Amino acid sequence: MKTLTVSVVTPDGPVMEDTYDMVVCRAENGELGILPEHIPLVAPLDIGDVRLKRGNDTDHLAVNGGFLEVRPDKVTILAQSAEKPSDIDVTRAEHAKERAEQRLQSHQDHIDFQRAELALKRAMNRLNVSKF
């Protein structure tokens, strides 16, 4: 059976590279499932849980934006940040969530509101992925 090499890179350096059967991720315009021999594609990624499937196992990564590049035998994710569940600091994410919620409750200008919404989304994604 054909596989996909998946490579994940952030500004801090490479996060992982391994082979999988399927990649499922959230692009900005919806959920994408990538199997080997997919047509070449570049798509902007949303903040979300990237699921990497091999047999009955699924690895998870908390990914914060960036781009997905698909070639028939390779998927490259270039993300602003990407953490494996074991690398997520749950206390830090809980604090980030609380800070963002407080900012959203206070009356701030539009830009700060958008920033707080994104910070909340990142924190909630990390808390969700940390459970795997």
Footprint of ligand ATP (CB under 6 A) = 12, 64, 81, 83, 87-89, 92-93, 96, 119, 122, 126
Q: Do 43 and 68 contact (CB within 8 A), yes or no?
A: yes
CB of 107 to ligand ATP, least distance (A): 21
Q: Do 117 and 97 contact (CB within 8 A), yes or no?
A: no
Shorter beta-carbon distance to ligand ATP: residue 31 or 89: 89
CB of 15 to ligand ATP, least distance (A): 9
CB of 69 to ligand ATP, least distance (A): 20
Beta partners for 59?
Answer: 52
Q: What Å distances lie between residue 86 and 19, 33, 39, 77, 100, CA to CA?
A: 19, 24, 32, 19, 23
Shorter beta-carbon distance to ligand ATP: residue 56 or 105: 105
CB of 37 to ligand ATP, least distance (A): 32
| Single-letter amino acid code for the residue at 70 | V
